[in-house]
Structure 1
Amino acid sequence: MSPGWSWYVIVIVAINILGCVWLLWWTGKRRPGDPAPTDTSHIWDGDLTEYNKPMPKWWINLFYITIVFAIGYLVYYPGLGAVAGVGKWTSAGEHAADKARDDAKLEQTFAPYAGKSIDVIARDPKAVTLGRSIFNNTCATCHGSAAKGAIGYPNLTDDIWHWGGTPDRVLQTVLDGREGVMPEWGKVLTGMGGDNAVDYVVAYVRTLSDPSTMQNNYMAAQGKPLYDGVCVACHGIDGKGNQELGAPDLTDNYWLYGNTSESMRQTINSGRHGSMPAHRQILGETRARLAAAYVWSLSHPDGKPPTATR
């Protein structure tokens, strides 16, 4: 708060307090010439009489005590602009103290799972329940409450893992995040193969899941050398991808951004940038392990890894 606004608040508070004191003093005393308390001349129905009796002293004194309390409160707590108050209380400090106290309680709950592998944690139903709560509070915004994902956000319930599906790789993804970048290749491919180059590559990529469709496929045949010259570095000559780079397998039926021709052209022309935030600082390592264990349990309901992970 700037000094000007601080003084504005102080002046307003002071005027209000002094105004209350003056109002009590002015209205709480009788003046010469005032009618007697029982002499207002306002009578109804013969015996209903209006009185002008002042409030009793004890009542007025309670108002003064309230004003004194308010002044003491403003001295102790920060109620006068930027003045901190002698108690040095702040809402941020109270929040930090409450958070530290609650974190200590949570750490007792999470302590049994510290350092354990997520596939081991996933076999404990209580741990999976805790992990689901952490997931719903932190991860469901992107991956959905059922962890099925959406366009641009991976489905976490299947066995397809672009960055690797071993317990250590899944945990690393949660703790440290991932940055998946597909460069813009439209201009490069156009320079290599003409205006239809991107469509040629799209046609060839579609054949990777079923090589038999290459037969008599003119567009795919034109796209293969373009793929081999540009895309093979990340996705491999067989299109199986590279988990070290997060390059997806192009031979399965899973498409993070959709498998329409329009979507695939956009991916090649403009590139993609998928970002998974790091949660080490957000959750702490043990809570991140519990969330990862819950994710692991979704695709490994029997607690065992599949024979092969992609």
Structure 2
Amino acid sequence: MTTFWSTYICVLTIGSLIGLTWLLIGTRKGETKGSVDQTMGHAFDGIEEYDNPLPQWWFLLFAGTLVFSVGYLILYPGLGNWKGILPGYEDGWTQTKEWEKEMNKADAKFGPIFAKFAAMPVEEVAKDPQALKMGGRLFASNCSVCHGSDAKGAFGFPNLADNNWRWGGNADTIKATIMGGRMAAMPAWGEVLGEDGVKNVAAYVRHELAGLPLPADSSADLVAGKQAFSTTCVACHGANGQGTEIMGAPNLTQPAGFIYGTSLTQLQQTIRHGRQGHMPAQSELLGNDKVQLLAAYVYSLSHNAASQPQTETPSEQ
């Protein structure tokens, strides 16, 4: 801040405090003997205003706010370039320094705990109750907005509580996914396949690969759909539709992995226009130690107990 603006703020602030003090003292009026019934000399609709002093508590409260203001401006930065003299803060208090102080306290308290779990394999961390509680809190704060509080996903976001993994579900892969994020791209095939081709491939994927029934009025050609799939889809999803983890291509034989829906309309939309999936990297935000706990928690969701296969809901049919 320039000297001019610093001086301007100081003069305005201190002048206001002096003016308020003068106003309080200058208008302070003690009660005069025999003046209890003295009025201001005017009335409205039979109501008169008495000329009595302000209550003692009101005067003291006003005076207290002025004293507090002076003390605050001495301790904290509030007068231009004045940094304050609050103990415990070099060069004055700021919100950043307050945050850093709290973070240092937290690091001193929890740092050894994080370090202990960081030195263990993720699979072992996933068996520790304390680690799972900490990982669960990290998940609730950083992951639940997309994957849900129960980690069972939502439209466009995968279920982390089952055994259907796009990029792999072993401990190291889960940690790598959280640390570095993932970028998945499903290209649009509408112009290549044409509208009939899109419908045929969607019907083939739903019925022949995922094993889900087709609507009674479906006129899709499954043979043509299989041929088109073999030409355009096998490079990512494989000849049998079982997916490719290295590319993040989902297993099309498992309806639970269809995060954009399993209905014919939804499948046609995916094939026609493609999909863009982005899992943001958490390494800079959380760091290795916290990601270790988070990975252990996610790993435990599908490995510490047998997961039940998901089935299609009526709304997807």
Q: Which amino acid aligns with 1:202?
A: A
1:13 aligns with 2:16: no
Measured after TM superposition, the shift of residue 252 of structure 1 is 2.0
Q: Residue 298 of structure 2 corresponds to which residue in structure 1?
A: 295
Q: Residue 83 of structure 1 corresponds to which residue in structure 2?
A: 81
Instruction: Work out which of the two has the higher radius of gyration on C-alpha atoms and give 1 or 2.
Output: 1
Measured after TM superposition, the shift of residue 161 of structure 1 is 0.7
- Secondary structure of the corresponding residue to residue 196 of structure 1: helix
- Secondary structure of the corresponding residue to residue 278 of structure 2: strand
- Matched residues, number: 278
Alignment of 1:51-90 (within 5 A): 63=63, 67=66, 70-71=69-70, 73-80=72-79, 82-87=80-85, 88-90=92-94
1:260 aligns with 2:238: no
Task: For structure 2, list consecutive stretches of 5 or more residues without a partner in the other structure.
Answer: 39-49, 86-91, 307-317
- Indicate if the aligned counterparts of 2:170 and 2:299 stay in contact, CA closer than 8 A: no
State the Cα deviation string for residues 208-267 of structure 1 (Å, max 9, x = none). 245xx9xxx971211223222221211112211110110011122221111101100111
- Secondary structure of the corresponding residue to residue 94 of structure 1: helix
Alignment of 1:154-169 (within 5 A): 154-169=158-173
- Indicate if the aligned counterparts of 1:240 and 1:251 stay in contact, CA closer than 8 A: yes
With normalisation by structure 2, the TM-score equals 0.74
Q: Which amino acid aligns with 1:100?
A: N
Alignment of 1:108-257 (within 5 A): 108-190=112-194, 195-206=195-206, 207-209=208-210, 219-254=221-256, 255-257=258-260
State the Cα deviation string for residues 69-108 of structure 1 (Å, max 9, x = none). 644532442223x535344321222122112211321212
- Indicate if the aligned counterparts of 1:38 and 1:51 stay in contact, CA closer than 8 A: no
Which of 270, 279, 283 pairs up with 2:273? 270
> Aligned partners of 1:126 and 1:156: how far apart in 2?
20
Of all paired residues, the percent bearing the same amino acid is: 39
Flag the 1:70–1:280 CA change in 2: closer, same or farther, 3 A: same
- Indicate if the aligned counterparts of 1:242 and 1:249 stay in contact, CA closer than 8 A: yes
With normalisation by structure 1, the TM-score equals 0.76
Which of 279, 282, 293 pairs up with 2:282? 279
> Aligned partners of 2:198 and 2:132: how far apart in 1?
45
> Aligned partners of 2:3 and 2:192: how far apart in 1?
58
Which deviates more from structure 2 when the two are superposed, residues 277-286 or residues 265-274?
Answer: 277-286
Q: Residue 42 of structure 2 corresponds to which residue in structure 1?
A: none
> Aligned partners of 1:236 and 1:259: how far apart in 2?
19
- Secondary structure of the corresponding residue to residue 205 of structure 2: helix
- Secondary structure of the corresponding residue to residue 255 of structure 2: coil
- Secondary structure of the corresponding residue to residue 221 of structure 2: helix
> Aligned partners of 1:302 and 1:132: how far apart in 2?
16
Measured after TM superposition, the shift of residue 24 of structure 1 is 4.2
Flag the 1:41–1:147 CA change in 2: closer, same or farther, 3 A: closer
> Aligned partners of 2:209 and 2:146: how far apart in 1?
29
- Secondary structure of the corresponding residue to residue 85 of structure 1: coil
- Indicate if the aligned counterparts of 2:73 and 2:84 stay in contact, CA closer than 8 A: no
